[in-house]
């Protein structure tokens, strides 16, 4: 597990190391500079001509120390000072005094610089401290850096990106590499900030563990070590040991979603998968997933007692229920939802059309229109506690009765709203999926653009169900499933490419991920 922090939390860690532990700020600055140079070393040569752009704050002091270390190692280095001498921090003033005594050009006007003369640029203008839109002067500097055709290294954070949410503050430096100190910052993971960071490396600059642990954060992501939480397979077992999943999916002649969810549940380790779908899908589901038990219903007869009992029995004999993939938004879907909420005894995975049906139903009540809080409260009160909701942004926008752009611009706030006073778990699917419950926020950083393909969400639903059936708690299952889904997507991209991937490729890559 990897802790993720915002700018204020990182500052608290820095302050603790300096004020409570007693580590001089200049020592941390020197460590930071050495780490940046260490990460640059594999990408630069003695033939490169390097420009280090520095501000007045401590990020600028890092930059001046970087320039000095590079110069000492024989590199050709110039410094551009974009700040004001009157605004220099104590540490940065000391770094400035040092480099002024060295054989180094120090520019103080961006207009005098021909950026094409440099093969490498280091951005040490602001770092994580940006709290407002860039000034016109800094915008000019950033635009000049972005004209540069060589590599750009950002120190802790590309200038113009909010470390707290990834927002572009008017304009931002487009970095190829970002060396982040201590922990990942929220703005390095969320888009659009992530796009501006390039490849992010986390550098240890000497914060003692007690300083790192002095701040608690409810934001985190996973790494390979978290795969250890996948339920272990017992040697003495049978198919019942690993749980029974019921996938309620598909509609008239629409079988793809049911197939993908069912197969993903099996590939994730579920012992038994049953598909409940319309009679019209019988032959194709039996051909595509012969391992699954098939129960079908007649959409025109859902008011019939025998038909209802058949569905009831399927629900009651399952350990985990999935409803939504490909069921459509017709009255039949509403009837299926009613049966699930009436008879289910365990948390449910509500996906896709299951969410859309409920959203459309809410729209018929004037008091529920344009009232996000009431809609979310009603949603939480209606569905079984600990159920997992897996909307993409369009589905969530319908549920909350808000615009997609509003959600995109306020993703963290949206996650907070979904979790407030709710017993539900939301996996808000986006390029950086956020899984939210109570006060915790999991931000997923596995996956790639090839996963933006039809059926990918159905695969995720099946993975969640497979983990739930094997006994993981719902919140743990949702987080781990999102991470595994992304890893399988990354594996599929290696085997195919991000252009050619299909949802079924993600399923076929699961065995590689789970083998680890």
CATH number, domain with residue 355: 3.40.1190.20
Kindly state the percentage of the chain with pLDDT values over 90: 99
Classify residue 396: in a domain, yes or no.
yes
Q: Do 188 and 252 share a domain, yes or no?
A: no
| pLDDT given at position 253 | 86
Distance from C-alpha of 408 to C-alpha of 414, rounded to nearest angstrom: 9
Give me the domain span that covers residue 12. 2-217
Classify residue 225: in a domain, yes or no.
no
Distance from C-alpha of 327 to C-alpha of 272, rounded to nearest angstrom: 21
- Determine the distance from the C-alpha atom of residue 145 to the mean position of all C-alpha atoms in its chain, rounded to a whole number: 28
Classify residue 503: in a domain, yes or no.
no
Q: Do 168 and 54 share a domain, yes or no?
A: yes
Annotate 135-173 with DSSP letters as a single string.
PHHHHHHHHHHHH--SEEEEESS-TTB-TTT--B-S---
- Asked which of 157, 183, 217 is the last residue of a domain, the reply is 217
pTM assigned to the model: 0.96
Q: Do 251 and 188 share a domain, yes or no?
A: no
- DSSP-derived secondary structure letter, 392: B
Classify residue 490: in a domain, yes or no.
no
Classify residue 73: in a domain, yes or no.
yes
| pLDDT given at position 244 | 98
Classify residue 226: in a domain, yes or no.
no
The CA radius of gyration of the chain, in Å to the nearest whole number, is: 27
Q: Do 209 and 245 share a domain, yes or no?
A: no
Distance from C-alpha of 404 to C-alpha of 413, rounded to nearest angstrom: 13
Burial class (CB in 10 A: 0-12, 13-18, 19+), 502: middle
Q: Do 212 and 272 share a domain, yes or no?
A: no
Distance from C-alpha of 196 to C-alpha of 174, rounded to nearest angstrom: 5
Distance from C-alpha of 280 to C-alpha of 299, rounded to nearest angstrom: 10
Classify residue 278: in a domain, yes or no.
yes
Q: Do 306 and 448 share a domain, yes or no?
A: yes
**Strand-pair partners of 425:** 388
**Regions of the chain short of the pLDDT cut 50:** none
Cα–Cα–Cα angle for 308, 312, 314, nearest 5°?
Answer: 120
Q: Do 109 and 248 share a domain, yes or no?
A: no
Collapsing DSSP to helix, strand or coil, 497 comes out as coil
- Alpha helical stretches, state H, 50-135: 58-72, 90-99
* CA nearest neighbour of 389 among 424, 414, 343, 415: 424
**Strand-pair partners of 275:** 247, 294
Classify residue 500: in a domain, yes or no.
no
| pLDDT given at position 322 | 98
Distance from C-alpha of 201 to C-alpha of 32, rounded to nearest angstrom: 12
Q: Do 211 and 245 share a domain, yes or no?
A: no
Cβ-Cβ contacts under 8 Å for 475 (sequence gap 6 or more) = 386, 425, 435, 437, 440
Average pLDDT, the chain: 97
| pLDDT given at position 356 | 98
């Amino acid at each position: 597990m990897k802790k993720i922090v915002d700018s204020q939390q990182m500052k608290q860690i820095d302050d603790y190391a300096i004020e409570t532990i007693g580590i001089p700020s200049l020592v941390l600055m020197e460590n930071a500079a050495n780490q940046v140079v260490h990460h640059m070393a594999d990408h630069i040569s003695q033939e490169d001509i390097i420009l280090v752009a520095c501000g007045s704050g401590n990020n600028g002091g890092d930059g001046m120390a970087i320039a000095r270390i590079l110069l000492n190692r024989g590199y050709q280095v110039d410094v551009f000072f974009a700040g004001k001498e009157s605004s220099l921090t104590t540490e940065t003033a000391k770094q400035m005094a040092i480099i002024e005594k060295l054989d180094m050009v120090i520019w103080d006007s961006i207009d005098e610089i021909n950026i094409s003369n440099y093969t490498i640029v280091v951005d040490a203008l602001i770092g994580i401290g940006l709290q407002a839109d860039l000034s016109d002067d800094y915008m000019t500097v950033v635009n000049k850096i972005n004209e540069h055709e060589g590599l750009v290294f950002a120190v802790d954070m590309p200038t113009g990106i909010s470390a707290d949410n990834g927002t572009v503050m008017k304009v931002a430096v487009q970095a190829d590499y970002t060396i982040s100190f201590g922990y990942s910052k929220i703005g390095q993971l969320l888009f659009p900030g992530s796009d501006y960071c390039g490849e992010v490396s986390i550098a240890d600059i000497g914060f003692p563990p007690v300083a790192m642990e002095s701040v608690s954060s409810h934001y985190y992501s996973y790494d390979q070590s978290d795969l250890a939480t996948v339920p272990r397979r017992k040697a003495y077992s049978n198919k019942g040991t690993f749980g029974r999943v019921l996938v309620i999916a598909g509609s008239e002649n629409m079988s793809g979603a049911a197939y993908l969810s069912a197969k993903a549940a099996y590939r994730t380790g579920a012992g038994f998968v049953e598909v409940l779908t319309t009679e019209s899908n019988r032959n194709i589901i039996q051909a595509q997933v012969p391992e699954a038990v098939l129960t079908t219903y007649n959409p025109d007869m859902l008011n019939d007692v025998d038909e209802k009992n058949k569905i009831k029995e399927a629900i009651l004999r399952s350990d985990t229920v999935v409803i939504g993939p490909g069921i459509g938004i017709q009255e039949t879907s509403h009837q299926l939802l009613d049966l699930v909420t009436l008879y289910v005894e365990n948390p449910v995975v509500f996906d896709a059309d299951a969410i859309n049906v409920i959203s459309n139903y809410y729209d018929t009540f004037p008091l529920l229109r344009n009232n996000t809080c009431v809609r979310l409260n009603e949603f939480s009160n209606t569905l079984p506690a600990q159920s997992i909701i897996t909307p993409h942004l369009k589905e969530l926008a319908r549920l909350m009765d808000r615009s997609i752009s509003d959600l995109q611009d306020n993703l963290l706030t949206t996650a907070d709203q979904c979790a407030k006073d709710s017993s539900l778990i939301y996996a808000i699917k986006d390029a950086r999926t956020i899984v939210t419950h109570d006060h915790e926020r999991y931000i997923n950083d596995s996956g790639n653009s090839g996963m933006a393909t039809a059926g990918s969400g159905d695969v995720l639903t099946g993975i969640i169900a497979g983990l739930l059936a094997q006994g993981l708690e719902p919140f743990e299952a949702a987080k781990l499933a999102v991470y595994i889904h992304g890893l399988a997507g990354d594996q599929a991209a290696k085997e195919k490419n991000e252009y050619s991937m299909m949802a079924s490729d993600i399923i076929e890559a699961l065995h590689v991920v789970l083998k680890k």
